[in-house]
Structure 1
Amino acid sequence: MQLVQMNDQEFARFLDRGIKDFALDKVEAGTWAEEEAEQLSRESYRRFLPEGLQTKGAYIYNLMHEVDGNVGYIWFNVTEHLRGKEAFLLDIVVEEEHRGKGYGKEAMAALEQAAAGLGVNCIGLHVFGHNVRASELYRKMGYAITDMTMYKELGR
């Protein structure tokens, strides 16, 4: 798996899709109301990518596989923290037609290699509770839970 820098046109598609997907995830998680979700998602993307592809510390790549070509994308930001230089995975997508082929695992390994090349000490990420497939992948890749919020819906 190779991480290949997006061009402006690819970034525009990434941004449009990412904003919509993040809004849907926040609604499904019960964090945002449906009517406010897209606006809040746009604000979040503006905060983390104020200069788009030129945002300092932001790394947005296509996931290029030698057999299937472009199979998705990955976005992480690198910042300084108490533990040193840290990468935080903000989004990763393996397209539906390419899932189940091990590309998620390959993408995470490529992330680790890229982050190490940037002098990163650790990688953090957030996963929505309803995304069981991703949670399982991250655990298999050696990620540990550092914080957990849980809710229980009560009968009405």
Structure 2
Amino acid sequence: MSSIVTLVPMDAEQYERFEQRSLADYADEKIQAGTWTVEEAPERAAESFARYLPQRLDTPHAHLYMLMYSNTDVVESQEEAGYIWFNMTDSAQGKEAFLLDILVYDSYQGRGLGTLAMGALEQEARRLGAVRIGLHVFGHNERALHVYRKSGYRVTDIQMSKEI
């Protein structure tokens, strides 16, 4: 039995759930990274969303999808397994996709869906004309680092800090 992940554009109800979860997760990641305080994190996360998704689901160049999982034995049975958000931009090398958020729900973890989702992202970005995909990952996120490396991503920049 093998699995497939397809990207299905978010609808308004799915977007509301995505935004609520993604805002909370982003604020938490910034707190864990030591970048923001607990007090300022919710407001700063909201400001970031307003900058990158000013028209929310209808923001030009923003691509928001649900990750739909099915095993190949029962293809007509798709289950919502997470979400993915990337923006498309133009660069000197051509169109680039930048992954801003990806989440495989906890109940689907450990099944290889992260790697499958990254493959689906690559196909969709290529379909949209991208020649490159970029992303940022927090240093403490070992699970994501593993998935990205397994998917062929290489480190292009490292930022470090030390508490003193």
| Fold agreement, TM-score > 0.5 | yes
- Return the match for 2:37 from 33, 47, 61: 33
Partner amino acid for 2:94? Answer: G
1:21 match: 25
- 1:105 and 2:115 equivalent? yes
Instruction: Extract structure 1 runs of 4+ deviating beyond 2 A.
Output: none
Q: Give the distance between the partners of 1:108 and 1:140, measured in 2 at CA.
A: 10
Percent identity over paired residues: 50
Q: Give the distance between the partners of 1:10 and 1:119, measured in 2 at CA.
A: 26
Q: SS where residue 89 of structure 2 aligns?
A: strand
Partner amino acid for 2:160? Answer: M
- 1:144 and 2:144 equivalent? no
- Return the match for 1:4 from 2, 8, 19: 8
Task: Figure out how many residues of one structure are paired with residues of the other and give that number.
Answer: 154
Q: CA RMSD in A?
A: 0.9
TM-score of the superposed pair, with normalisation by structure 2 = 0.91
Q: Give the distance between the partners of 1:72 and 1:51, measured in 2 at CA.
A: 22
Give 5+ residue unaligned stretches, structure 2: 72-77
Give 5+ residue unaligned stretches, structure 1: none
Q: Give the distance between the partners of 1:24 and 1:81, measured in 2 at CA.
A: 31
1:75 match: 85
Which runs of structure 2 are paired with 1:78-93 in the superposition (5 Å)?
78-93=88-103
2:127 match: 117
| Post-superposition offset of 1:152 | 2.0
Q: Give the distance between the partners of 1:133 and 1:13, measured in 2 at CA.
A: 23
